[in-house]
Amino acid sequence: MGYYHRKLIQSAVFAVCAAMLPYLATWLWIRLTHPSNSAGMLQLCGPTAIAAIVSYEFLIRWHAGQSHLTIESLSARLNEDDYGMPTSRWQQLIVRASTAIGFILALLVLLSALYTRN
């Protein structure tokens, strides 16, 4: 996005910060709370998820500011944009097959996690 708006220094700094933020948030969380060996996924992945949500919100607001748009108008433009949507029959088939494979793999991971838990 920084390259698109011709802000190379800002984009490089933000890329470094965005790459390090989830790891630093998790590291800091583990240092402060000292989770047990049986800590759940929420305790371990919560800080990373929060960092990802905050980074996404910052990126959207930065992009809207660089484009001289409000958040609402940027959201409307993004919803109306059909760029990258599969148009030909083979593209639609690949998207459907990839979606089905991803759903099946996610279901298998969930089932294996539930099966090994008991």
User: How confident is the model over 68-88, as pLDDT tens digits?
Assistant: 889 888 888 878 877 777 788
| Highest mean pLDDT: which range of 37-41, 47-51, 64-68 | 64-68
Looking at the whole model, is its pTM more than 0.85?
no
Closest CA to 52 of 86, 18, 96: 18
Element (H, E) at 109: helix 89-117
